[in-house]
Amino acid sequence: MIENSIENNTHLPLLQFATPKVMAASEIYIPEGKIFKKIFYIKKGILRNFFVTKSGEEKTIFFRWEGQIVAIPECIFDNQPTRQTWQALEDCELMEIDFDMVEKLSENNISLIKTRLGLAQKMLLEALKRVESFVLDKPEERYQKLIREKPEIIKRVADKHIASFIGVTPVSLSRIRKRLASQKK
Amino acid sequence: MIENSIENNTHLPLLQFATPKVMAASEIYIPEGKIFKKIFYIKKGILRNFFVTKSGEEKTIFFRWEGQIVAIPECIFDNQPTRQTWQALEDCELMEIDFDMVEKLSENNISLIKTRLGLAQKMLLEALKRVESFVLDKPEERYQKLIREKPEIIKRVADKHIASFIGVTPVSLSRIRKRLASQKK
DNA sequence: TAGTGAAATTATCTTTTGCTAATTTTTGTC
DNA sequence: GACAAAAATTAGCAAAAGATAATTTCACTA
């Protein structure tokens, strides 16, 4: 399923300038501190972005997978270096597009700006849903929702990454899994 | 400080159609279930939006205050009824703008769409920062950050609303406050 | 200013999580 | 298929949070 297609409409000019990028699983795509002024489309694979805490732990904030268009908000919106690291979790195939190009093309292309607005809105709804879940749900419920709503993604990602995604330690997630398994019987 | 001014630039057409709305403290502004197709500018006062859980508890998701432009994402982006309630926490003065009007004006006004894009991006950065804090910080740290970064807002809002905002119960927030107070000495 | 209701704090008890370390299981590679 | 490294689980203990209820403090209004 294509989540944010760039292959279906009036934005062919973008694709013209897209360049392919291939990465192996576990490879670092974007290191912390970089001002990454590209957007990219994921043709294949999963990536995650994470913070490294003072004590060296990696805290995963989001997963991104095939069909999605990704922009790093702080870089693209604010021209700031990202404090996070982006890593391929599987062998990935991306299509990169220079963002300065997008900006230039946007100047007099109202349809392209509308596309950008749509993408920002989509990302916002996703982030808000996440906030909701942190406010309303216990970790156990967040985990259950995740299995229910994104089962195929969960299977492809290590539990330790899921753990920080829902805001708990890997040990705690393991206990949650155990509790849920015993309740089912 | 004006956070998202609509009074300073090329968007006077919007202001033309804005209508004032005054509310008393504790009044419900937007009830759950409504498709609220307006955006509003807060001239004065604070509002909150909250979910009501099955057990009847109110869980506050955001606060909005003077200087901000507010759009209810699910209503404006997706034409969906909101599952949240909006309530004035102080006497408020708002300026309401019909969103259909904004859409119509946007069609051939690239600058207005850019403004909308900017607003969506701003909201996204805010929501992402919130997600970060849930993943990286303990409730105690979230509370400390809040006091540090929004001291004037915190003072104007009841603790029980702060509590759900940072994802804990009012009782737990009270204990956090006690712990912090004892550490200071 | 006295009285009422809501908010905040405190107390008690239970559940969950974090931390650390040990153990088991899984994964990937040679 | 054997080995090494990483991931996941388990265990034990301390800290924090949830639930409930009682008590104190605060805020509003009559």
- Mean residue pLDDT of chain B comes to 92
* Contacts A167 to B, Cβ<8 Å: 134-135
B66-69: Cβ within 8 A, 24+ apart: B66/B42, B67/B1, B67/B2, B67/B3, B67/B4, B67/B5, B67/B42, B68/B3, B68/B4, B68/B41, B68/B42, B69/B3, B69/B4, B69/B6, B69/B39, B69/B40, B69/B41, B69/B42, B69/B119
CB contact under 8 A, A135 and B77: no
Is residue B174 over pLDDT 50?
Answer: yes
Is residue B6 over pLDDT 60?
Answer: no
CB contact under 8 A, B51 and A121: no
Average pLDDT over residues A17-38: 96
At A38-67, the pLDDT tens digits run 999 999 999 999 999 999 999 999 999 999
Q: Which CATH number does B1-98 carry?
A: 2.60.120.10
Q: Taking the domains of chain A in order of start, what are their residue ranges?
A: 1-125, 137-185
pLDDT over 70 for what percent of chain A?
92
Cβ atoms A32, A85 nearer than 8 A: yes
Shortest distance between the Cα of B58 and any Cα of chain A, in A, equals 10
Is residue B90 over pLDDT 60?
Answer: yes
What's the pTM? 0.93
In this complex, the nucleotide whose C1' atom is nearest to the CA atom of residue A175 is: D9
Chain D footprint bases within 7 A of protein beta carbons? 7-12, 16-21
DSSP track, B134-181: HHH--HHHHHHHHHHH-HHHHHHS-HHHHHHHTTS-HHHHHHHHHHHH
Query: Is any atom of nucleic acid chain D found less than 7 Å from the CB of residue A130?
Result: no
Residues 6+ apart with CB under 8 A from B165: A135, B60, B61, B62, B63, B146
Say if A1 is an interface residue toward chain B (CB within 8 Å). Answer: no
Lowest-pLDDT range of A158-162, A172-176, B53-57, B61-65: B53-57
Distance B70 CA to C14 C1' (A): 42
Say if A133 is an interface residue toward chain B (CB within 8 Å). Answer: no
Q: What is the 3-state secondary structure (H, E, C) of A120-184?
A: HHHHHHHHHHHHHHHHHCCHHHHHHHHHHHCHHHHHCCCHHHHHHHCCCCHHHHHHHHHHHHHHH
Structure tokens at B51: 């979910």
User: How far apart (Å, rounded) are the C-alpha atoms in residues A66 and A45?
Assistant: 6
Shortest distance between the Cα of A164 and any Cα of chain B, in A, equals 6
Rg (Cα) of chain A, in Å, rounded?
18
CB contact under 8 A, A127 and B132: no
* Residue A11 pLDDT: 54
Nearest to B77 among A73, A113, A121 (CB): A121
Residue indicated by tokens 């990696």: A58
Distance A83 CA to D2 C1' (A): 41
Distance A175 CA to D22 C1' (A): 34
* Residue A117 pLDDT: 96
Nearest to A164 among B78, B135, B167 (CB): B135
**pLDDT band (50, 70, 90) for residue A7:** very low
Is residue B7 over pLDDT 90?
Answer: no
**pLDDT band (50, 70, 90) for residue B39:** very high
Query: Is any atom of nucleic acid chain D found less than 7 Å from the CB of residue A156?
Result: no
**pLDDT band (50, 70, 90) for residue B182:** confident
What fold characterizes domain A1-125?
Answer: Jelly Rolls (2.60.120)
pLDDT over 90 for what percent of chain A?
87
* Contacts B130 to A, Cβ<8 Å: 127, 131, 134
Shortest distance between the Cα of A151 and any Cα of chain B, in A, equals 21
Say if B60 is an interface residue toward chain A (CB within 8 Å). Answer: yes
* Residue B87 pLDDT: 97
User: How far apart (Å, rounded) are the C-alpha atoms in residues A26 and B19?
Assistant: 54
Nearest to B59 among A116, A136, A165 (CB): A136
Backbone φ/ψ region at A165: left (φ over 0), alpha (ψ -120 to 50), beta: alpha
Q: pLDDT: is A185 or B154 the higher one?
A: B154
Average pLDDT over residues A144-163: 97
User: How far apart (Å, rounded) are the C-alpha atoms in residues B130 and B166?
Assistant: 9
Helix (H) or strand (E) holding B123: helix B110-136
CA distances to A57, A97, B79 from A53, rounded to whole Å, are 5, 30, 39
**pLDDT band (50, 70, 90) for residue B17:** confident
